[in-house]
Chain A
Amino acid sequence: MSLLGFCQWLEKTPWSIALHESLWVYPIVESVHVLTLCWFLGLAVMVDLRLVGLALRRVPVSQVAGQLGPWMVAGFAVMAASGALLFYAIPVRTYLNIFFRIKVGMLALAGVNAWVFQKTVYRRVAKWDLDAAPPRGARLAAWVSLALWVCIVVAGRMIAYNWFDPPGVH
């Protein structure tokens, strides 16, 4: 089954129909998605700003990452779950939407960026924990993260517009 075929099947499932026809649940899920985006991204920006050496410069990096990390994960989890529900409500049109594809690509890159950071430069954090300006690798990872998240949020917002939707698809 192709991805498009899968989306077409998904769209016909009773819960997908209930979700996209709902009077209140869909707008509530949308709101939860935006609220948890603020929650997660607000914290991620602070961690990134610490890593580039612009904010919380006197707080050890491991403290910033360690204390905010669990809250970031919690925000991300609800954001991802609500995002999945929004996709589940309107699978075919979303799958075909160019901005959604850009967003998913950027999300994957942001994930790879965070993973590489964790596995490389952050392994040696004890050596630069107190540096006001962390090493180049950490700064680079943080700038990449900030840039990617700007693109992710903008692309996400653009999914609403149907400028490039194929004919017959709303």
Chain B
Amino acid sequence: MRSRILVACFLLTVATTAAWAHHAFAAEFDATKPVRLQGTVTRMEWINPHAWIHIDVKKPDGKVEKWMVEGGTPNTLLRRGFTKHSVNYGTAIIVDGYQAKDGSNKANGRDLTLSDGRKLFMGSSGTGAPRDGRDPIEPKR
């Protein structure tokens, strides 16, 4: 009986650990605040434990807002066909994601669309971000 409880605890730990990333989506981002950001890339940080894409978003009034969009690890991105040079300085992109809970110009990136219509997924699903089935790699519920 005791060993069965131990095994159950162990399996539960393994299962929850596998679902963790570096930090959970819900700790920093708000699933009820979806954002669509259209802008140009100013910097791509291809780094562990989360990649970041910095973009300049031009508002209708002409003002430029600086945004940072978080993605998965380089490993996660590579598995989704994303490379270090998929987006470079000046690349025009549209990012769909979720804004930071603190209201700052940070977002968790769900996917991005290039000007030729190609979509790249940013590997945010699986860390607690809402799943909508668009990312073919995300596990089915």
Most A CB contacts (10 A, CB to CB) among B27, B45, B48, B49 go to B48
Q: A23 to B22, alpha carbons, bound, how many Å? A: 14
Q: Is B47 among interface residues, defined by CB-CB distance under 8 A?
A: yes
- Kindly supply a per-residue 1/0 record for chain A positions 134-168, scoring 1 wherever the CB is within 8 Å of any chain B CB and 0 otherwise: 00000000000000000000000000111100011
Pair B104/A161 contact, Cβ less than 8 Å:
no
Pair B48/A168 contact, Cβ less than 8 Å:
no
Chain B residues with CB below 8 A from A162, complex form:
28, 106
B interface, CB within 8 angstroms of A = 22-23, 27-28, 45-50, 52, 54, 66, 68, 70, 73-75, 78, 84, 102, 104-106
A interface, CB within 8 angstroms of B = 19-24, 26-27, 30, 89-90, 160-163, 167-168, 170
Q: List 30 A-B contacts (CB under 8 A).
A: A19-B48, A20-B47, A20-B48, A21-B46, A21-B47, A22-B48, A22-B74, A23-B74, A24-B75, A26-B73, A27-B49, A27-B75, A30-B49, A90-B48, A160-B22, A160-B49, A161-B23, A161-B28, A162-B28, A162-B106, A163-B28, A163-B102, A167-B66, A167-B104, A167-B105, A168-B54, A168-B66, A168-B68, A170-B50, A170-B52
Q: A155 to B75, alpha carbons, bound, how many Å? A: 26
In the A-B complex, the 4 residue pairs with the smallest Cβ-Cβ separation, listed nearest first, are A26-B48, A20-B47, A170-B52, A160-B23
Measured CB to CB, the nearest residue on chain B to A26 is B48
